[in-house]
Structures are given as structure tokens and as C-alpha cells.
Amino acid sequence: MNTMEKNIVSRQLETARLRTHMLERAAAEAGTRRVLLIHGNVSSGEFFRELMAALPAEWHVVAPDLRGYGHTEALPIDASRGVRDWADDLLGVLDALDWQDADVLGWSLGGGVALQLTLDRPLRVRSLTLVAPVSPYGFGGTHGAAGIPNSPDFAGSGGGTVNAAFVAAVAAADRSDAPGSPRHVLKTFYVNPARFTPTAEQEERWLESMLLTRTGDDFYPGDAVPSPHWPHVAPGTRGVANAFSAQSMNVSAFADLHSPPPVLWVRGDADAIIGDSSLFDLAHLGALGAVPGWPGAAACPPQPMLAQTRAVLERATQQGGQVREVVLPGVGHSPFIEAPEAFLAAFTAHVEGRR
């Protein structure tokens, strides 16, 4: 453990909304930057530990666990609000810390939360970094750069599209390496295994973080309703996957903000989770023949996640926004873990205004 890792502390923060657990690394000297790191689905702030240790010493950095994850108080997730429960919780964190603003990073699901936070309180976000972010139109069930629903009930997104065996394994704290287990998913999809292998210590620490995910209708993955449209399941109104479903989440209005904060978009070109050919998108899996009954590309095309994000960010530049896209070759879903030096260089330059 290096010196900066020793300075990372775990603590509970009482906010106006809920008791939030977070990792915190105070600035080593009078700091000029306050940095908020927002994790993704089936994870926690623990995934940011190495990044926190590597960031400039004068930055004050926090990595909260979102509700439903890690050691934060387990309050239900109202998916009818999209990702606003999480965004509001994080605004409560900023208030409790007495931070008037922050440089905000969101990874995967956290990218959508970061965009919602920015939409709701743009003056509190100095800069925005999106790391392998979920599409502004949610996950699954849409087509085209403008996020057009594949069906009127948003079938193909939401809690019913999540692999039930994986959820059961999380709930059972399965530590095996069986195909589809949390450990297997971590090593196969959270990173590109052809490029990166976690150490034994990292693997156990990150696995433990995943297994802290609350499961059920109010948490992960959420409820679902039957649909006449393929794949015959549509989003419900509770829990994680419904909160970031096409029915509930739409943060594309970020593009309409006047003078939005500068954006850094970092992704790996080997990301199997977020991409235009996501192995977690049922429409793409249907096209591959892995899910039966796919009605074809005319009725249910795979979601062009990257094209959707790019279209929104390009529109933001027309409002005076600055956007930089960094694509890291051979990197999967976790650029800050898989390519730490390249990621750190891009992130620190962005936050410090060296764009």
C-alpha cells in the first residue's frame, strides 16, 4: 500500500437524504479541486481506490456508494424518477461536505447519474468526465442516434432483461468462478481479459464490492411487467435496471444547457458492456441468435449506445460546450483500471483545464 492509499479513509456521512458511505482522500495541502467519483452498476466506490491514490495530492476526492450498493443506507430506488434518486443523494453529499461545486466523474451507470446531476444543478459541476457511460437514453430498447423507442412500452429494457441467474448469484454471495458468476463477470466483462488481469487482492476486494449490491424489486434489478413486444418484458417502476431503462431515464437535455461544463468522454474500444454491439443488449444478443425469437433489425435493432452519446455531446458543443473524446485501444469497460497512466493523464489535464 502506497502513502496515498493509506490516506484514503472509509466513513459514513449523514446527509439530508440518507446515510452515505464513502471513501475519502483529503487534500494533502490547501486544495484547489474537489472531486466526486460516481461508480457504476453492481460495484461501489471501492473500484476507485487505485485512482484516488494516484490523483494529485492537492485534490480532495470522495467516492460515495450509491444507494443500493456498498455500505450506504439501503433505501428503495424509485425508478419512476429515472436516475434522480441517486443524483439527489449526491447533491446531499455535496451539501453535507459544504462543497459548492465539484469536478464530477461518472462511470457506466454513474455517467448517467452525473449527467442528471449536471442537468439539475449545472452550476455545481465544474467539469464532467464520462467513463464508459450509459447512453443518455438509458440501456436497451431504443434505436437511432435520437434514442427512439423500439416499442411503445420500452420492451427490451428494465429489470426483466437482467440475467436472473446472475442476480441470484449476487444475492447468494457466490464466490465461485463458474461461468456467469460475479467473479467471472468481473474478470470477463468489467475489464478486457486479453489486456488486464486483476491481482488476487484486487479481485477479492472488487468481488466483495459487487456482492454488497442489494437485490430485489426495490433494488437490483427491479420489477418488470409482461409485454406483447419482443422480448416480451417491459420495465417496471422500482429498482436499478428500471431507473436506467429507456422508459425512465433520458438525460439528453444536457445538450440544451447554456454553456455546459466541459466534458471528457473516455472509453475503451474493447468494451463489451457499453457499445453499439453490447453483449448485454438483448437486441444484439437476439441478432447473434443467443436469445430466441428476435423479430429482426427492422422491429428491434440493437441500441447504438456510442452513437447516442456522441450525438448528445455534439449538440452540447453547439451551446458553447467543450467536448473531448478519448478512445483507449484494447481497453474494456474500466479505463481507469485497465489503462491507469493514460486515463490519469487525460483526466488530470481535463480537471486542471489543460484541454
| Structural domain boundaries, residue 331 | 3-149+249-351
pLDDT at 290 over 80: yes
In a domain, 267, yes or no: yes
Residue 328 φ then ψ, to 5°: -100, 120
pLDDT at 179 over 80: yes
Percent of the chain with pLDDT over 90: 95
Mean pLDDT, residues 72-82 taken together:
98
Mean pLDDT, residues 141-166 taken together:
97
Distance from C-alpha of 311 to C-alpha of 81, rounded to nearest angstrom: 24
CATH number at residue 108: 3.40.50.1820
Average pLDDT, the chain: 96
261 CB-side CA count, 13 A: 28
Bridge partners of 106? Answer: 38, 130
pLDDT band at 255 (very low <50, low <70, confident <90, very high): very high
In a domain, 34, yes or no: yes
pLDDT at 2 over 70: no
Q: What is the pLDDT of residue 29?
A: 76
Residue 37 φ then ψ, to 5°: -105, 125
pLDDT band at 5 (very low <50, low <70, confident <90, very high): low
In a domain, 132, yes or no: yes
Pick the range with the lowest mean pLDDT from 25-34, 86-95, 183-192, 296-305. 25-34
Quote the number of domains for the chain. Answer: 1
In a domain, 173, yes or no: no
pLDDT tens column, 232-253:
999 999 999 999 999 999 999 9
Bridge partners of 20? Answer: 13
In a domain, 282, yes or no: yes
In a domain, 93, yes or no: yes
In a domain, 232, yes or no: no
In a domain, 205, yes or no: no
Q: What is the pTM of this model?
A: 0.97
Give the chain's radius of gyration (CA, Å).
19
Q: What is the pLDDT of residue 319?
A: 87
pLDDT at 30 over 90: no
The strand pair at 125-131 and 102-107 is best described as parallel
The whole-angstrom distance between residue 91's C-alpha and the CA centroid of its chain comes to: 17
